[in-house]
């Protein structure tokens, strides 16, 4: 099986019709055996769907996608998983494990399909890696690197030394615009004053990272009101949409006979984080 993901600097690109690259994964026995990045070689929904068909793609994972593209993919016999976000390798792994659930291609209702992901984010936010994740902040950061595109390697650990993320392990630096709110505030502030080749150790309190846990972000719904939720399990990550059709990530916190409780807090909320950051390039 071949899975293609809209690709931009390690993350799921959010506009299918404008994607310039796909990362293609060769999968055997639900495990990735190889991957490569290919160019789109064209623009427009039909052209992209045709390219994927020529490459023998079975599944497309993407962010935002329109009805025309959905039709083209369906005609090409390609399964679509829309609304995905974050690091492409992580998204593919989650898809193969069946840990993500879809609210539908347009993220405009509360329908779920097992094994799919659905989520999106506002333009200009980074949703990849453990130091991004749609956590834009009002920037009061100053430094010579603010407003510039920075490439950094990093390793993130909890206070007990447990590693939760590392760009070194992925073999690719993280790229973002410093001070643009694409990163958590403490990470952004650290990079703002770094020099190329410098390695910095930072300790971030929750207020500088993903904030404190918000009890108002935990809510309970009737299972009967959420088709497909009867199949969800505690601990599973799903994507829901609000009244404006905007998707957001939640985790199943509890499940009773007739109700299900979701937690919309970021999984890193309330945690102190440590980062080793290496500034690789500024452009």
pLDDT at 71 (0 to 100): 80
Q: Can you tell me the mean pLDDT for 241-257?
A: 75
Q: Can you tell me the mean pLDDT for 162-180?
A: 92
What is the dihedral angle through the alpha carbons of 204, 94, 79, 121, rounded to the nearest 10 degrees? -20
Q: Is the pLDDT of residue 126 over 80?
A: no
pLDDT at 246 (0 to 100): 54
Q: Is the pLDDT of residue 10 over 50?
A: yes
The pLDDT confidence band at residue 212, using thresholds 50, 70 and 90, is very high
88-102, 168-182, 236-250, 253-267: least confidently modelled range = 236-250
2-11, 125-134, 264-273: least confidently modelled range = 125-134
- Residue owning tokens 């590693």: 163
Q: Is the pLDDT of residue 202 over 70?
A: yes
Q: Which residue has the higher pLDDT, 181 or 89?
A: 89
Residues near 27 by Cβ (< 8 Å), separated by ≥ 6?
1, 2, 3, 33, 96
Q: Can you tell me the mean pLDDT for 16-42?
A: 89
Q: Is the pLDDT of residue 86 over 80?
A: yes
pLDDT at 133 (0 to 100): 42
Return d(Cα 263, Cα 252) in angstroms, integer.
Answer: 6
CA distances from 271 to 35, 189, 267 (A): 33, 18, 9
The pLDDT confidence band at residue 106, using thresholds 50, 70 and 90, is very low
pLDDT at 105 (0 to 100): 38
Q: pLDDT averaged over the chain?
A: 81
Q: Where are the alpha helices (DSSP H) in 76-131?
A: 88-97
DSSP state of 208: G
The pLDDT confidence band at residue 160, using thresholds 50, 70 and 90, is very high
DSSP state of 107: -
pLDDT at 119 (0 to 100): 31
Q: Give the percent of the chain with pLDDT over 70.
A: 81
Q: Is the pLDDT of residue 237 over 90?
A: no
Give the pairing of strands 79-81 and 59-61: parallel
């Amino acid at each position: 099986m071949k899975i293609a993901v809209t690709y931009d600097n390690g993350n799921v690109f959010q506009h299918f019709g404008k994607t310039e690259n796909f990362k293609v994964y060769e999968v055997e026995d639900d495990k990735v055996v190889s991957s490569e990045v290919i160019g789109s070689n064209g623009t427009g929904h039909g052209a992209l769907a045709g390219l994927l068909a020529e490459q023998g793609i079975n599944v497309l994972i993407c962010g935002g996608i329109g009805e025309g593209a959905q039709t083209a993919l369906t005609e090409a016999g390609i399964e679509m998983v829309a609304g995905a976000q974050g690091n492409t390798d992580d998204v593919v792994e989650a898809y193969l494990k069946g840990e993500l659930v879809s609210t539908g291609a347009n993220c405009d209702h509360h329908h779920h399909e097992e094994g799919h992901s659905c989520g999106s984010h506002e333009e200009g936010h980074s949703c990849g890696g453990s130091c991004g994740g749609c956590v834009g902040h009002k920037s009061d950061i100053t430094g010579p690197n603010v407003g510039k595109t920075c490439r950094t390697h990093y390793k993130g650990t909890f206070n007990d030394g447990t590693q939760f993320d590392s760009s070194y392990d992925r073999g690719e630096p993280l790229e973002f615009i410093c001070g643009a709110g694409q990163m958590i505030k403490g990470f952004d502030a650290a990079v703002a004053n770094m020099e190329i080749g410098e390695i910095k150790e930072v300790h971030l309190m929750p207020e500088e990272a993903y904030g404190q846990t918000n009890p108002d972000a935990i809510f309970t719904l009737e299972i009967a009101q959420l088709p497909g939720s009867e199949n969800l399990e505690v601990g599973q990550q799903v994507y829901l949409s609000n009244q404006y059709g905007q998707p957001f990530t939640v985790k199943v916190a509890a499940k009773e006979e007739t109700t299900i409780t979701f937690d919309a807090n970021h999984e890193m909320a309330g945690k102190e984080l440590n980062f080793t950051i290496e500034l690789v390039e500024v452009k």
